[in-house]
Chain A
Amino acid sequence: MTDVLSVTQLSKTFPGVRALDGVDFTARAGEVHALIGENGAGKSTLIKVLTGVYAPDAGELTYKNEKVSFATPLDAQHAGISTIYQEVNLVPLMSVARNLFLGREPRGRLGLIDFRRMHREADEALRRLGVRVDVRRPLRELGVGAQQMVALARAVSVDAQVVIMDEPTSSLEPREVQTLFGVIRMLRDRGIAVIYVSHRLEELYEVCDAVTVLRDGKLVHTGPIAELDRLRLVSLMLGREIGEVREEGVTKFSGEHAPGTQPVLRARDLTMRHALHGVSVDIRPGEVVGLGGLLGSGRSETAKAIAGALPTDAGSVLIAGTPVRSGSPPAAIRAGISLLPEDRKAEGIVPGLSVRENIALAALPGLSRFGLVDESAIDKIVDTFMKRLRIKASGPHQKVGELSGGNQQKVLLARWLAMNPKVLLLDEPTRGIDIGAKAEVQKLIDELAGDGLAVLLISSDMEELIEGSDRVVVLKDGTVIEELTGSKVTEDALMRAIATTGGSHD
């Protein structure tokens, strides 16, 4: 196999972060190369350098035996490097065909676009990938999977030599994933170099030939994937020895709570078009209930419906027996429900405001008199929670946007704890934060449940979910398919629950 695209001693620094530190990487023709690593390992930065989004600070890029540097994504594309991003990056208001051919439309006389030919070729290109849609329809009318296929068709149809896929399966149905894998194998057989980024280990072993592991911006391993067993792969990603992984687990949960007897939260038959079909969850004080399931199974929607952040079509939420008005965050908050949203940066913190003001934000009406803010009351609360949650900031007046992910998450926790909530809904509370802070947040969750809070925990980190929860409610396609309790709360049971009910929802 020939090397198509390679980098040597690549480095890239952002203010405060060394994103890539002397990384070597080679993609070969007819090979599917997995690029893996934890959050912050440098995968995205490496991809962005390969595709001309970033210019490297140091290091060389070699493409087809020539030293190159791509100034723009367009340069890289013209050279034959195509990328499919995590979220579908197309223009939803434009038709499928226009999306497919943007920038290289077939042109006829006078340089005008030949739409008939464009539609025919678009249709052919999609049929080859097994997708049948009306290519004249706006892209947004298609499902996410079909949109992903359009993106793929676009990437493939530009005579690509290298196709980079950044977590392409994160929003696909299992069946769509199989379709995608078929296409990937087809590309490999055509002699194209595929670079495949994913967090799903099963997928890597199913479709990849080689693997490169990055950690903290450095290369830690590269070689054929068949020579690397899963446990070794995990230990390389985490930077831990295998024994450690086995014995200690990765989490800091004690797993010992003493829940009350009567549920404080009763969510009944929550229904939301296209997302939830009658989901019911009960949580008792002092209990941590995990919400398991794959991405898109309705976990975040359930949490948001309970917190009033998304309107429901049917169903009810009761706190200590009293119904809560649906679709209104203020009503839910008054009733004692607090949500740490999945997208912490966009929906959680207010980045330009200080730690102090972020903590006091929700409790503000209670901390003021006649609309005037009681500063000393705020100082007291902020001081208490910064100490109790061990928030690391240069002071209460530092902007939250400048803090690390873990401390941002703690600020959000403080914001809600200042409201004395009864129920805490945590959607991916440790995603994207470093390992030390992760352990701390996990310990906090444990303590809070110990203090009698009812906690709903959503996590795609399976160990966190299993070790942190007293009970796990498993969702699939917006319905509860199983509830794991007591000794049945294990990874095996969870995976079996997700897997056994079959792959179809016909």
Chain B
Amino acid sequence: MTGTVLSKAKPMKQPEDPADTEAGASRSERVSALAQQHGALVTLVVAVIAASLSFDTFLTADNLENMAVSSAFLAVVALGMTFVIITGGIDLSVGSLFALGGVLAAWGSQYGTAVALLLPLAVCGLIGLVNGLLIARSRLAPFIVTLAAMLGARGILLSVTDEGSKTYLVDKDTFFATLGQGKVLGIGAPVWITLALFVAGAVVLRRSRFGQYVYAVGGNEDAAALMGAPVARTKITVYTLSGLCAGLAGALNAAWLVSGVTILGSGMELEAISAVVIGGTLLTGGFGFISGSLVGVLLLKVIQNVINQIGSLDSAYQQVVSGAFLALVVIAQTWLGRRRRVL
């Protein structure tokens, strides 16, 4: 019936001229969007080629596998961070949660694999949930809430390890240790788990309704609320997700190292944020994608690997390079964004 009534309305044609001017604008817009989406990938390819040509030791199976496994943990943290940043937020607690997750998993592994996995997920997920509640319901600034959580989680970590003096070990013969140490088709289990999580994450972000809400909240929170998107629930979910990812990454890392090392994870929040932003996700929210974060993590790890290969350079250069890189990417994003706004 709708159709018949509708056909009564006169055909209303939109004028052609504005469309023409928009087409011109959208061409340069597409170029900047392409730069945003694939800049990191191009840089990664160039970096890999340059590294292979410069160091014989770079393109060896051992080195690659090593890089892949060590990337895996950061990648899982960055996965959760991607969701948070697309909503326009930030999560500075992930480094502490990563360390806490590792310690809890190592401690829990004596009671079996289920405890070793579920305990860190429960605790870190709960802290993420509290972050989310404070940010979404009490409307506190994300950076300060998660900064406090970073401190609080570090405090919990210290109190369960006798002020950091106790290191729990994982029995190498357990299934839990296999999650970190095992290999499938010559590639470490953490790499497979990470890839699976990224595929799941990408599907959720691109193809689920929740994913649409994540973009909407980051793109224009007020509009999202008026359009009926559950803004608070979406925010709470992404911070919980981020906590879960950090806890899981910590647990996998503990399985890989077969111990819960207490000093890990400091500075990891910065690496994860860098990776996400380098991967093309806008820090202002509303735009970004999962695969980019993976590329960002790999790029950081390749740079780190190259710095290690040079040997004479201290690992501190890694931080200088990541910091500079982060600054460059953010400058580029701001400029690209500004040009688009003018259009």
Once A102-B212, A111-B208 are accepted as A-B contacts, the answer to whether A131 and B14 lie under 8 Å apart by CB is yes
Binary CB contact string for chain A from 39 to 83 against chain B (1 if under 8 A, 0 otherwise): 000000000000000000000000000000000111001100001
Question: Looking across the interface, which residue of chain B has its beta carbon closest to that of A132?
Answer: B14
Tell me whether A130 and B22 are in contact (CB under 8 A): no
**For residues 170 through 208 of chain B, which have their beta carbon under 8 Å from a beta carbon of chain A?**
203, 207-208
- Cβ of A92 within 8 Å of any chain B Cβ, yes or no, is yes
**For residues 1 through 48 of chain B, which have their beta carbon under 8 Å from a beta carbon of chain A?**
2, 5-6, 8-15, 17-19, 22, 25-26, 29
Tell me whether A186 and B6 are in contact (CB under 8 A): yes
Question: Looking across the interface, which residue of chain B has its beta carbon closest to that of A90?
Answer: B223
Tell me whether B230 and A74 are in contact (CB under 8 A): yes
Give Cα A152–Cα B229 distance, bound, in whole angstroms.
Answer: 17
Q: Shortest beta-carbon distance, B227 to chain A, in Å?
A: 5
Pick the contact of B12: A85, A92, A98, A129 (CB < 8 A): A129
Once A93-B286, A113-B208, A128-B6 are accepted as A-B contacts, the answer to whether A141 and B29 lie under 8 Å apart by CB is yes
Interface residues on B, range: 35 or more
Stretch of A175-183, A333-341, A375-383, A447-455 lying at the B interface: A175-183
Binary CB contact string for chain B from 146 to 168 against chain A (1 if under 8 A, 0 otherwise): 00000000000000000000000
Question: Looking across the interface, which residue of chain B has its beta carbon closest to that of A114?
Answer: B207
Give Cα A115–Cα B208 distance, bound, in whole angstroms.
Answer: 11
- Cβ of A368 within 8 Å of any chain B Cβ, yes or no, is no
- Cβ of A436 within 8 Å of any chain B Cβ, yes or no, is no
Contacts of B26 in A (CB 8 A): 137, 141
Question: Looking across the interface, which residue of chain B has its beta carbon closest to that of A183?
Answer: B9
Tell me whether A112 and B208 are in contact (CB under 8 A): yes
Tell me whether A182 and B10 are in contact (CB under 8 A): yes
Once A89-B227, A141-B26, A143-B18 are accepted as A-B contacts, the answer to whether A103 and B5 lie under 8 Å apart by CB is no
Give Cα A500–Cα B25 distance, bound, in whole angstroms.
Answer: 32
Tell me whether B17 and A98 are in contact (CB under 8 A): no
Binary CB contact string for chain B from 311 to 343 against chain A (1 if under 8 A, 0 otherwise): 000000000000000000000000000001010
Once A89-B223, A90-B223, A94-B219 are accepted as A-B contacts, the answer to whether A107 and B228 lie under 8 Å apart by CB is no
Q: Shortest beta-carbon distance, A272 to chain B, in Å?
A: 11
Tell me whether B215 and A89 are in contact (CB under 8 A): no
List the count of A-B residue pairs having beta carbons below 8 Å apart: 110
Q: Which of B9, B12, B15, B213 counts the most A-chain CB atoms under 10 A from its CB?
A: B12
Give Cα A463–Cα B145 distance, bound, in whole angstroms.
Answer: 53
Contacts of B2 in A (CB 8 A): 190
Pick the contact of A141: B25, B203, B220, B342 (CB < 8 A): B25
Give Cα A322–Cα B286 distance, bound, in whole angstroms.
Answer: 46
Give Cα A141–Cα B220 distance, bound, in whole angstroms.
Answer: 16
Question: Looking across the interface, which residue of chain B has its beta carbon closest to that of A178?
Answer: B12
- Cβ of B114 within 8 Å of any chain A Cβ, yes or no, is no
Interface residues on A, range: 35 or more
- Cβ of A439 within 8 Å of any chain B Cβ, yes or no, is no
Q: Shortest beta-carbon distance, A110 to chain B, in Å?
A: 9
Q: Shortest beta-carbon distance, B202 to chain A, in Å?
A: 12
Contacts of A98 in B (CB 8 A): 212, 215
Question: Looking across the interface, which residue of chain B has its beta carbon closest to that of A191?
Answer: B5
Once A129-B12, A175-B15 are accepted as A-B contacts, the answer to whether A91 and B228 lie under 8 Å apart by CB is no
* B-side interface mostly: helix
Give Cα A85–Cα B208 distance, bound, in whole angstroms.
Answer: 27
Contacts of B18 in A (CB 8 A): 143, 146
Tell me whether A189 and B228 are in contact (CB under 8 A): no
Tell me whether B11 and A90 are in contact (CB under 8 A): no
Contacts of B11 in A (CB 8 A): 130
Contacts of B223 in A (CB 8 A): 89-91
Once A89-B220, A182-B9 are accepted as A-B contacts, the answer to whether A141 and B22 lie under 8 Å apart by CB is yes
Pick the contact of A103: B215, B219, B222, B229 (CB < 8 A): B229
- Cβ of A238 within 8 Å of any chain B Cβ, yes or no, is no
Give Cα A140–Cα B342 distance, bound, in whole angstroms.
Answer: 11
Give Cα A32–Cα B49 distance, bound, in whole angstroms.
Answer: 67
- Cβ of A154 within 8 Å of any chain B Cβ, yes or no, is yes
Pick the contact of A93: B17, B203, B215 (CB < 8 A): B215
Once A83-B226, A89-B222, A112-B207 are accepted as A-B contacts, the answer to whether A190 and B5 lie under 8 Å apart by CB is yes
Tell me whether B9 and A186 are in contact (CB under 8 A): yes
- Cβ of A248 within 8 Å of any chain B Cβ, yes or no, is no
Q: Shortest beta-carbon distance, A166 to chain B, in Å?
A: 11
Pick the contact of B227: A78, A102, A111, A189 (CB < 8 A): A102
Tell me whether A143 and B22 are in contact (CB under 8 A): yes
Contacts of A417 in B (CB 8 A): none
- Cβ of A506 within 8 Å of any chain B Cβ, yes or no, is yes
- Cβ of A172 within 8 Å of any chain B Cβ, yes or no, is no
Give Cα A190–Cα B3 distance, bound, in whole angstroms.
Answer: 11
Question: Looking across the interface, which residue of chain A has its beta carbon closest to that of B12?
Answer: A130
Give Cα A78–Cα B227 distance, bound, in whole angstroms.
Answer: 11
Once A112-B203, A141-B22 are accepted as A-B contacts, the answer to whether A91 and B286 lie under 8 Å apart by CB is yes
Binary CB contact string for chain A from 122 to 163 against chain B (1 if under 8 A, 0 otherwise): 000000111111000100111100100000001000000000
Give Cα A231–Cα B29 distance, bound, in whole angstroms.
Answer: 50
Give Cα A128–Cα B29 distance, bound, in whole angstroms.
Answer: 28
- Cβ of A105 within 8 Å of any chain B Cβ, yes or no, is yes
**For residues 292 through 306 of chain B, which have their beta carbon under 8 Å from a beta carbon of chain A?**
none
Contacts of B29 in A (CB 8 A): 141
- Cβ of B61 within 8 Å of any chain A Cβ, yes or no, is no
Tell me whether A130 and B14 are in contact (CB under 8 A): yes
Tell me whether B14 and A146 are in contact (CB under 8 A): yes
Give Cα A273–Cα B342 distance, bound, in whole angstroms.
Answer: 9
Binary CB contact string for chain A from 99 to 110 against chain B (1 if under 8 A, 0 otherwise): 100110101000
Give Cα A425–Cα B26 distance, bound, in whole angstroms.
Answer: 35
Contacts of A102 in B (CB 8 A): 212-213, 216, 224, 227-229
Tell me whether B227 and A107 are in contact (CB under 8 A): no
Tell me whether B208 and A94 are in contact (CB under 8 A): no
Contacts of A77 in B (CB 8 A): 228
Give Cα A296–Cα B2 distance, bound, in whole angstroms.
Answer: 35
Tell me whether B286 and A103 are in contact (CB under 8 A): no
Tell me whether B227 and A154 are in contact (CB under 8 A): yes
Q: Which of A93, A107, A137, A146 counts the most B-chain CB atoms under 10 A from its CB?
A: A93
Tell me whether A186 and B219 are in contact (CB under 8 A): no
- Cβ of B263 within 8 Å of any chain A Cβ, yes or no, is no
Give Cα A176–Cα B218 distance, bound, in whole angstroms.
Answer: 30
Tell me whether B22 and A113 are in contact (CB under 8 A): no
Question: Looking across the interface, which residue of chain A has its beta carbon closest to that of B10?
Answer: A182
Tell me whether B287 and A93 are in contact (CB under 8 A): yes
Contacts of A128 in B (CB 8 A): 6, 9
Q: Shortest beta-carbon distance, B28 to chain A, in Å?
A: 11
Contacts of A186 in B (CB 8 A): 5-6, 8-9
Binary CB contact string for chain A from 256 to 278 against chain B (1 if under 8 A, 0 otherwise): 00000000000000000100000
Tell me whether A189 and B8 are in contact (CB under 8 A): yes
Give Cα A114–Cα B126 distance, bound, in whole angstroms.
Answer: 33
**Given contact pairs A77-B228, A103-B213, a sample of 16 additional A-B residue pairs in the complex whose CB atoms are under 8 Å apart:** A78-B228, A91-B216, A93-B220, A102-B227, A112-B203, A113-B207, A113-B209, A130-B11, A130-B12, A130-B14, A133-B14, A133-B19, A140-B340, A141-B25, A189-B5, A506-B17
21 A-B interface contacts by CB (under 8 A): A73-B226, A73-B228, A85-B226, A89-B226, A91-B216, A93-B215, A93-B286, A94-B215, A94-B286, A98-B215, A102-B216, A102-B228, A105-B209, A129-B12, A130-B12, A132-B13, A146-B14, A179-B12, A185-B9, A186-B5, A186-B9
B contact residues vs A (CB 8 Å cutoff): 2, 5-6, 8-15, 17-19, 22, 25-26, 29, 203, 207-209, 212-213, 215-216, 219-220, 222-230, 286-287, 340, 342
